[in-house]
A and B are shown apart, each in its own frame.
Chain A
């Protein structure tokens, strides 16, 4: 299983708040990105932590706003953690998956969009991109998409898994396929 990183930003920080964040999130390594941004490593699936409740608890106990983004390690080969950190700062909600950050980045920053496209293009073959576009065009329906690609359904599933391995983005989810759709079909 891929290691998850949690990017955590707080509106205010002191020793006590740091200790509580560590209590919730620190199960291995921690990196301080900026005074109010931390990167925690966790072996837990990001979904298993009750992020919303933790954010609610820290807000009601300390009156601090906390933002959390769950990030797979793999994705950092394509985009820097600093870029993600800066992106999270601009976003209004509290809890995000990395795909949300990438979407925001692609839509708001043409330069970053171009860089992302180039770095993904290095690992994705032409047929990968055709697969992704066809899969999206068929509304994430594997049966229809495999027919239109003249592939066996299992072959398509295998290819989609392989793309996930290569990029760290689960393209079988709407959020995931949307990233490649924005990058490669516009």
Chain B
């Protein structure tokens, strides 16, 4: 069992610098949870508090119902995988993996069994006698995972474990970690700044900024229903477009554009009292279209774009353009022949549009 419970966890460094503010979260057994956010958002600090490498300033941390604030790292039944792998350079792969068990005074035979088993899962059987220096980056990373696996720990903690690998290997190891989790089902807390890792690996994502949790949800929840402008802008590449404006009749208007808001969305906006307040329209690049079917469905959501840059990516083209003073990116089919300087007519899929309160930056939805 590997449940984690964070109750009002805070971390304040000397000099009153707040790194983590009032962190509340329940992680279920077997869950793969990813903390993601920009540098300095508090994700690593939170992980290191679970590992016991950082003291918890305030609040309570429970592993399987047991409060562990004051439990030493080695007694927490967690296994940490470090960014740089942190293998003992003078010991063989076998000894590195066996090490945690030896420290816990496990009988030799049992250690051997566990190490062999983990080595088999990770494809390290041939490398057990080598020293870390004689391994590739990917192999070292696997040994680091092996160290964690043999421990049968209740929770795995991984701090940017793939960031030292090259791009191709990273994709491969990403898949391996997902497979590994499916096989051994250990609760895993994974920290990354890479939203693609977060989206592809997580059961649930915790998005953090400046010490605060901005949203917790499944990858599709945070992508399709972001709670606020930070999450909306952070998840997705190219990022969601934001256009500032207000309601005028049935329409969302700025100085240079006017698009009709679907009735259901308009009703919510009016009900929440945004008829006269400044609004931000959020629309993802892939929800801006150039085909006629969409144009017929939303005849009143057409906008003329003056093309600044057109990047052909193979199957699609990213068009950078300006609507008034706002930079906007649209992702359209690569069939469309587009040149810089052209003015083209595109249509916004307004049912996929998000509306945010300009002041609070929060999404506007029904109560």
Residues of A within 8 A of B (CB): 19-20, 22-24, 50, 53-54, 56-57, 59-63, 92
Contacts and interface: CB of A to CB of B under 8 A. Distances in A.
A22 B90 contact: yes
Nearest to B103: A61
B90 A56 contact: no
Nearest to B78: A60
Contacts, number: 48
A62 B14 CA distance: 26
B74 A61 contact: yes
B90 A23 contact: yes
Contacts of A92: 14
B86 A50 contact: yes
A145 B88 CA distance: 47
Contacts of B73: 59-60, 63
11 contacts: A19-B90, A20-B88, A23-B89, A23-B91, A50-B86, A53-B83, A54-B86, A56-B51, A57-B86, A59-B52, A61-B103
Given A63-B72, A92-B14, A57 B89 contact: no
Contact of A50 (B48, B82, B91): B82
Interface in B72-123: 72-74, 80, 82-86, 88-91, 99-100, 103
B156 to A, nearest CB: 13
Contacts of A19: 90
Contacts of B74: 60-63
Interface of B: 14, 48, 51-53, 72-74, 80, 82-86, 88-91, 99-100, 103
B72 A50 contact: no
A61 B52 CA distance: 12
B68 to A, nearest CB: 13
B83 A50 contact: yes
A96 to B, nearest CB: 15
Contacts of A53: 82-86
A60 B89 contact: no
A62 B89 CA distance: 17
A23 B52 CA distance: 24
Contacts of A23: 88-91
